[in-house]
Structure 1
Amino acid sequence: MRIAELSRRTGVPIPTIKYYLREGLVPAGERTGPNQAQYGEAHVKRLKLARALVEVGGLSIASAREALRLMFSAGLSELDTIGKAQYAMTPAREYMEDEAWDEAVAEVDELIAKRGWRVKPANPARRTLADALATLRRLDQDDYFELLDSYAETAERLAADEIETVTRRGDVDSVAEAVVVWTAVGDTVLASLRRLAQEDKSTRLLEGS
């Protein structure tokens, strides 16, 4: 199919398709002329995945590119696939390392130890969580920390259900795809559900149930 048909099949505008092609999120089509290429069903799937990760999941282009690379990598075990996919979707960046940061890092380590989580020191989510907690400290939102155990308990239960469900797929390629999509898009689902529930609870509290 030509790029116009690819756009029609996926709902992705042609300029966006060309951008994803340039950025390596979607592989190049088969050249049929100086400015023409043919695309197949694999491009349809890859383009839908790329759009979901970037536009719905909110991943950066770099994170989406790495996640897609891992999704289509061969030779990885299920455990490696899950770990690498998770790490790829947590972008590396610089953090403000002050007293609040040091306290937050210690709190994250303590939380992980208390819950008995088997988490590698290199897991980038450690630093992401520490940064969020440090930010709350800097903004004097100390009462938020009363909820941290509740958040962790909910996350643990949700993670158990997700991993149990996704590993039932059996083949590594399908597991890789699900882990990437569920993590990226699932974060949006979870945030949306939280906001809906917050409106419900605040309405009941302030207006009376």
Structure 2
Amino acid sequence: MRISELARAADVPVATVKFYLREGLLPEGELTSATQARYGEAHLERLRLVRALTGPAGLSLAAVRRVVDAIEDPPADVNELLGVATAAVDEPSPARDHRAVHALLERWGWQLQEKDCRSHDQLAAALQALDDAGYALEPGALDLYRRHMEEIAAVEVGGVPTSSPADAVRYVVLGTVLVEPLLLALRRMAHQELSVRRFGGTSAGRDGPAPDHPGPPTRDR
């Protein structure tokens, strides 16, 4: 397909496709003349991936480039895929003293690997922010979060495709950047539901339809 057809199939402007080509986020097409090139399904798939990462995922171009590089040059060791994918989407952050996090991992029986220290820094920063704000977690809350995260991770890691390293990296990257907002939205919705249960109030489906939603039609008797 020509560049205009590629843009139409992906529902993006031609100028955007050309920009991604200049930035190296989209591979060059097969030249058919001095000014024309032909593109295939692989280009369409890559274009949709880049749009998902820059759009719903909200990644910077630098992060998208790291994702693309990880997909094009995945590690041979499957055990390294998760770390590569996570590092690809995470923005660089200052290293922190995360010895307390290592102590947590040891207590939980989790393995300590140097390649995972980026996520250790993130947890250390989150815990420090709680301390700085004077917010104390409920006793046992961190262990509870860990148990539920293990259950979620078991489902996600179990779904990592083994067809190819590139497929695995793509799956993990998209699962990281697109599922995390989903988890956050579900957490907030659960807060709303349990708040109604504990403190009272109404919610659609519990005490009738929402005010701007018509009720089911009634049948004449």
Q: TM-score range by the shorter chain?
A: 0.7 to 0.9
Shift of the 144–128 alpha-carbon distance from structure 1 to 2, 3 Å rule, reads farther
Shift of the 132–15 alpha-carbon distance from structure 1 to 2, 3 Å rule, reads farther
AA in 1 matched with 2:122: T
2:170 to 162, 167, 177: 177
Per the TM alignment, residue 18 of structure 1 is displaced from its structure 2 partner at its CA by 2.9
TM-score by length of 1: 0.82
Answer yes or no: is 1:40 the counterpart of 2:33: no
More helix per residue: 1 or 2? 1
Q: Residues of 1 paired with 2:142 and 2:16: CA distance?
A: 40
Per the TM alignment, residue 22 of structure 1 is displaced from its structure 2 partner at its CA by 2.8
Per the TM alignment, residue 127 of structure 1 is displaced from its structure 2 partner at its CA by 0.8
Answer yes or no: is 1:159 the counterpart of 2:156: no
Per the TM alignment, residue 111 of structure 1 is displaced from its structure 2 partner at its CA by 1.7
Counterpart contact for 2:75–2:81, Cα < 8 Å: no
Q: Residues of 1 paired with 2:164 and 2:103: CA distance?
A: 36
Unmatched segments (≥5 aa) in structure 2: 207-221
Shift of the 183–2 alpha-carbon distance from structure 1 to 2, 3 Å rule, reads same
Partner SS, residue 155 of structure 1: helix
Counterpart contact for 1:90–1:125, Cα < 8 Å: no
Q: 1:117: which partner in 2?
A: 110
Counterpart contact for 2:101–2:124, Cα < 8 Å: yes
AA in 1 matched with 2:152: L
Higher RCO (CA 8 Å, separation ≥ 6 residues): 1
Q: Residues of 2 paired with 1:157 and 1:195: CA distance?
A: 19
Q: Residues of 1 paired with 2:74 and 2:132: CA distance?
A: 44
Q: Residues of 2 paired with 1:178 and 1:206: CA distance?
A: 40
Counterpart contact for 1:66–1:88, Cα < 8 Å: yes
Q: Residues of 2 paired with 1:75 and 1:139: CA distance?
A: 40
Q: Residues of 2 paired with 1:16 and 1:196: CA distance?
A: 36
AA in 1 matched with 2:78: E
Q: 1:51: which partner in 2?
A: 51
Unmatched segments (≥5 aa) in structure 1: none
Shift of the 58–111 alpha-carbon distance from structure 1 to 2, 3 Å rule, reads farther
AA in 2 matched with 1:66: R
Percent same amino acid among aligned pairs? 35
AA in 1 matched with 2:130: L
TM-score by length of 2: 0.78
Q: Residues of 1 paired with 2:88 and 2:150: CA distance?
A: 20
Q: Write the deviation string for residues 130-173 of structure 1: whole angstroms up to 9, x where unpaired.
A: 11221222121123675222221111111112112224x44333
Q: 1:132: which partner in 2?
A: 126
Q: Residues of 1 paired with 2:100 and 2:28: CA distance?
A: 46
Q: 1:79: which partner in 2?
A: 79
Q: Residues of 2 paired with 1:119 and 1:57: CA distance?
A: 29
Larger Rg belongs to: 2
Q: Residues of 1 paired with 2:33 and 2:192: CA distance?
A: 55
Q: Residues of 1 paired with 2:139 and 2:2: CA distance?
A: 54
Partner SS, residue 143 of structure 1: coil
AA in 1 matched with 2:106: A
Name the count of aligned residue pairs. 201
Counterpart contact for 2:21–2:28, Cα < 8 Å: yes
Q: Residues of 2 paired with 1:203 and 1:13: CA distance?
A: 45
Per the TM alignment, residue 60 of structure 1 is displaced from its structure 2 partner at its CA by 2.3
Per the TM alignment, residue 33 of structure 1 is displaced from its structure 2 partner at its CA by 5.3
